């Protein structure tokens, strides 16, 4: 079975408790279940990960790139969190990995502080989903599947 990867960056382990007025009350465990249910609906295997460490995220993008090259994955739904706005290393890892990535943010980053308006990841992403809450992950997964089906 083909895999869809969902990779979450810093502080997303705090979902449900960190700024619920911005990010909602869905916990990280509930988000994983939501993604698992959507993957099942789409006939995909789910690989769900979260790290607060930039280097770990870079390593995972490179690892998933090898999976894509072998035809075992449709790509990555990636919520880089604050690293979207700061990490050239993640941007370069995504570009180098050569796997489709849909950048996904729970909140509408463009309606927030100005430093959140620019994303280094967006420039190398196949698509961007922002502001739909955790439901954006479903949209991103469907978008990745659509990209792969041509």
Q: Over its length of 150 residues, how does the chain's per-residue pLDDT go in tens digits?
A: 799 999 999 999 999 998 888 777 899 999 999 999 999 999 999 999 999 999 999 999 999 999 999 999 999 999 999 999 999 999 999 999 999 999 999 988 877 777 667 799 999 999 999 999 999 999 999 999 999 877
pTM (global) more than 0.75: yes
pLDDT at 115: 65
Alpha-carbon dihedral 116, 119, 125, 130, rounded to 10 degrees: 10
* Residues tagged in the binding site annotation for substrate: 79, 85, 92, 106-107, 116
pLDDT at 21: 82
What's the half-sphere exposure (Cβ side, CA atoms, 13 Å) at 66?
A: 5
pLDDT at 116: 67
pLDDT at 30: 97
The answer for 110, left when phi > 0, alpha when psi is -120 to 50, beta otherwise, is alpha
Q: Looking at the annotation, which residues are catalytic?
A: 23, 105
Q: Are 13 and 29 in contact (CB under 8 A)?
A: no
pLDDT at 107: 87
């Amino acid at each position: 079975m083909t895999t869809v990867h969902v990779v979450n960056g810093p502080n997303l382990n705090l979902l449900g408790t960190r700024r619920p007025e911005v990010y909602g009350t869905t916990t990280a465990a509930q988000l994983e279940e939501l993604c698992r249910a959507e993957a099942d609906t789409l006939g995909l295997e789910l690989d769900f990960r979260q790290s607060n460490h930039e280097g770990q995220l870079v390593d995972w993008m490179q690892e998933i790139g090898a999976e894509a090259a072998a035809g075992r994955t449709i790509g990555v739904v990636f919520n880089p969190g604050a690293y979207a706005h700061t990490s050239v290393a993640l941007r370069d890892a995504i570009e180098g990995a050569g796997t489709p990535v849909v950048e996904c943010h729970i909140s509408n980053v463009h309606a927030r502080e100005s430093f959140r308006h620019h994303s280094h990841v967006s420039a190398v992403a196949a698509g961007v989903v922002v502001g739909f809450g955790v439901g954006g992950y479903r949209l991103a997964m469907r978008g990745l599947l659509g990209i792969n089906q041509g």
